[in-house]
Amino acid sequence: MYTILEKNIQALASGVNQPLANKLINFIQNQNFTHFSMDENLNIFDHQNKVLMYENPKEEINYFQQTILQQSLRYPFVCIYGVGNGLLIQNLSKNYGHIFVFENEIELFILALNTIDLSQELKSGKVYLIDTTEAKISFQLSMLFDQYGTFEWLSLYKMFINCTYYKKYDEKFIFEIDKKCQEIIHIVIRNLDPGNTLTTLCYKQFLQNIPQTLTSIPLQRLLNERKNKFDNAIVVSAGPSLSKQLPLLKQYQDKALIFCADGALNMLLKEGIKPDYILNLDFEDLPCKFFSDLKTCENSIFILAATTHPSVVKLLENQNKILVISDIPYYRYYHLEDFGYIDIGTHVSHFSYTMALNLGCKNIIMIGQDLAFDKEGNSHAKNFALGEDADVKLNFPTLKVTAYGNKGEVLTHIAWNDYRIKLEHLFINNSQTKFYNATEGGAKINFTKELSFKECCENILKQTKPKFDIPKPFTLNRSKKMLTKFKDTIQENIQICQNFLDDANALEQALQTIIKSNKELPLNFLYNVYQNISNFDLHLQHDKLMGDNFLKALHGHKGKCLSEVIALQIQDESQFLFEFIKAYNSFLEILIPKIQNRQELFLSTL
């Protein structure tokens, strides 16, 4: 028979929150409780501040429970700072889809989990415990806030407090975690592509590029032939600091696999440096300017995202190339495993790092990864094809961040800063690989070791890299068969879109009739309409095509519309349901054209 604590830790360890489970086990096995203890009334004594957590546990827990419920009526999720004795969390859990509990004291986690059985809530993800001292907390929050059932409702975010004790003694921690949550939320919302414009454009180009993808070198063939054959890689980006690193890169080019961002290619070729891999993922055709001299690239492989601009693919049709399919669900949907799937990211250097990781590189050296303007205000290295001030012209909002080597601050912009955060997530989740930031300039990137490029070359690059044969594409016959199968799937998709359009139009017509009726409608009738909406929405989210994340941004918009209704705190249920119906009708007015657009994309592929 398991104890309550064992059941709770087992629930955490089941894959929901393994790091916290490990931390709890380690503490129990190796340390003593010195800060907190719990009495028979489930009150907690703080030995450091010599105070009890609750004046009257039952009354205070009930007060905060009612306060939170009143202030979060119909909220799908809530955030609460402080685990307390666990009772408040247990009492509230049945009222929300998710409760995110933040705590900075490991002893309090253990005391609560030793007393209250939350194993089912933890296992299902209904309750998620967040250790605010965890190094990966930004990554955790990004994952939690970006999941279905949460990202749609982020405009309702508010940090509630477990009890008065936390407000008195943890005010600083509450402020810091609240600030971090809001920063992560802003990034999640920014990345949603509210109009679905970029998502649609990339998807269109993916469909256009399929014939070229299937006749290019398959990614998996490259990995089968080259994975784990050499440990050392240099990822070359086109930041302002790159110029000073080129002489050393030329000297050591035979000692490392060189992954070159497209924008840095002409600079390397000008110095006689031949990269092994040249990467590109741009949805625009601007990178065509990067590929003006391809005569010396006969032994290089161009690795393109399958969503890259068709003009770039056309320009490189006679080069050794791979079109890589992203691991995003709506690309995985087509089961073209030979040509995917990896985390391509949203910036070309991210693509370079994930390719190096997939090829089994153990030491990855970064140069030109400034992610900041230099002292002269330039965004890119000298001789960058689009101009050294290319990003200056974009007029992105700017901010200051910690500089490389902790030497003061540097000026960056929000796109670079978002990218830096994504890189840090990538690095911390691949801790078995050593990332050396040898940029010697720009912004500090956490979870990398800062080392001069000279030290990296002298201490790491000791072996000559092997010479590889260029992998072969599939036979033309095999590629044609795959294309035929792909088009069969497209035909199925067209019909799925039509079925959803029929259902969505019928629902929209019904909702508009209700909205225009100007009648006081019975509560039971409104509940039935609400249930019909819920059934349609569940089908939309869980269908194999419509639920593939392509419409994620629209679900975010839907959540924002519905959140505005929830935020009104309407007490009358009939009035709330009527406002809910109006909001969902607004969503349908946007959804229907988007499904039509996707259907048209499929039709244009045939």
Banded pLDDT at 25 (limits 50, 70, 90): very high
CA 602 → CA 195, 300, 496, distances in Å? Answer: 19, 34, 11
**3-state DSSP percent of the chain in helix, strand and coil, to 5:** 55, 15, 35
Instruction: Give the position of tokens 């009495």.
Output: 39
Q: Are residues 219 and 291 in the same domain?
A: yes
b/e map 379-416, b = 16+ CB within 10 Å: bbbeebbbebebbbeeeeeeeebebbeeeeebbbbebb
Q: Are residues 61 and 158 in the same domain?
A: yes
In the 3-class helix/strand/coil scheme, how is 313-379 assigned residue by residue? Answer: HHHCCCCCEEEEEECCHHHHCCCCHHHEEECCCCCHHHHHHHHHHHCCCCEEEEECCCCCCCCCCCC
Banded pLDDT at 293 (limits 50, 70, 90): confident
Alpha-helical segments (H) within 429-471: 453-460
Predicted confidence (pLDDT) at residue 171 exceeds the cutoff of 60: yes
Q: Choose one of 190, 218, 236: the last residue of a domain.
A: 190
Tell me the mean pLDDT in the region 563-590: 96
| Edge-to-edge strand list for the sheet holding 36-38 | 36-38, 44-46, 51-52
Which tokens hold the place of 35? 């800060």
Tell me the mean pLDDT in the region 81-91: 98
DSSP H or E segment with residue 240: none
Q: Considering the domain boundaries, does residue 472 fall inside one? A: no
Q: Are residues 56 and 110 in the same domain?
A: yes
Say what the pTM is. Answer: 0.90
Question: How big is the chain by its Cα radius of gyration, in Å?
Answer: 27
181-232 confidence digits (pLDDT tens): 999 999 999 888 777 889 999 999 999 999 999 999 999 999 999 999 999 9
587 φ, ψ to 5°?
-65, -45
Banded pLDDT at 1 (limits 50, 70, 90): low
Q: Are residues 177 and 294 in the same domain?
A: no
Q: Are residues 290 and 331 in the same domain?
A: yes
Average pLDDT, the chain: 95
User: Can you tell me the distance from the alpha carbon of 410 to that of 398, in angstroms, rounded to the nearest whole number?
Assistant: 10
Asked if 496 and 545 count as a contact pair (C-beta separation under 8 A), the reply is yes
Alpha-helical segments (H) within 117-241: 119-124, 137-145, 164-169, 171-190, 197-215, 219-226
Q: Are residues 442 and 493 in the same domain?
A: no
155-164 confidence digits (pLDDT tens): 999 999 999 9
Q: Are residues 63 and 93 in the same domain?
A: yes
Per-residue model confidence (pLDDT) at position 434: 98
Q: Considering the domain boundaries, does residue 529 fall inside one? A: yes
Which has more pLDDT, 118 or 289?
A: 118
Predicted confidence (pLDDT) at residue 174 exceeds the cutoff of 90: yes
Q: Are residues 447 and 355 in the same domain?
A: yes
Q: Are residues 147 and 211 in the same domain?
A: no
Q: Considering the domain boundaries, does residue 474 fall inside one? A: no
Residue type (1 letter), 417: N
Per-residue model confidence (pLDDT) at position 260: 98
Tell me the mean pLDDT in the region 476-485: 97
Beta bridge partners of 228: none
Instruction: Give the position of tokens 């503490």.
Output: 27
Q: Choose one of 407, 428, 460: the last residue of a domain.
A: 460
User: Can you tell me the distance from the alpha carbon of 376 to that of 410, in angstroms, rounded to the nearest whole number?
Assistant: 12
Q: Are residues 121 and 222 in the same domain?
A: no
User: Can you tell me the distance from the alpha carbon of 358 to that of 103, in angstroms, rounded to the nearest whole number?
Assistant: 36
Tell me the mean pLDDT in the region 404-416: 95
Predicted confidence (pLDDT) at residue 381 exceeds the cutoff of 80: yes
Predicted confidence (pLDDT) at residue 136 exceeds the cutoff of 90: no
User: Can you tell me the distance from the alpha carbon of 4 to that of 114, in angstroms, rounded to the nearest whole number?
Assistant: 6
Sign of CA dihedral 248, 254, 256, 258: positive
Residue type (1 letter), 268: L
Query: If 0-12 CB within 10 Å is exposed, 13-18 middle and 19+ buried, where does residue 538 land?
Result: exposed
Asked if 237 and 341 count as a contact pair (C-beta separation under 8 A), the reply is no
Banded pLDDT at 37 (limits 50, 70, 90): very high
342-356 confidence digits (pLDDT tens): 999 999 999 999 999
Banded pLDDT at 519 (limits 50, 70, 90): confident
Q: Domain total for the chain? A: 3
Query: If 0-12 CB within 10 Å is exposed, 13-18 middle and 19+ buried, where does residue 532 land?
Result: middle
Q: Choose one of 411, 426, 460: the last residue of a domain.
A: 460
Q: Are residues 378 and 332 in the same domain?
A: yes
Q: Considering the domain boundaries, does residue 467 fall inside one? A: no
Q: Are residues 182 and 203 in the same domain?
A: no
Q: Considering the domain boundaries, does residue 470 fall inside one? A: no
CA 162 → CA 66, 155, 171, 282, distances in Å? Answer: 12, 21, 12, 47
Per-residue model confidence (pLDDT) at position 351: 98
Structural domain span for residue 524: 481-605
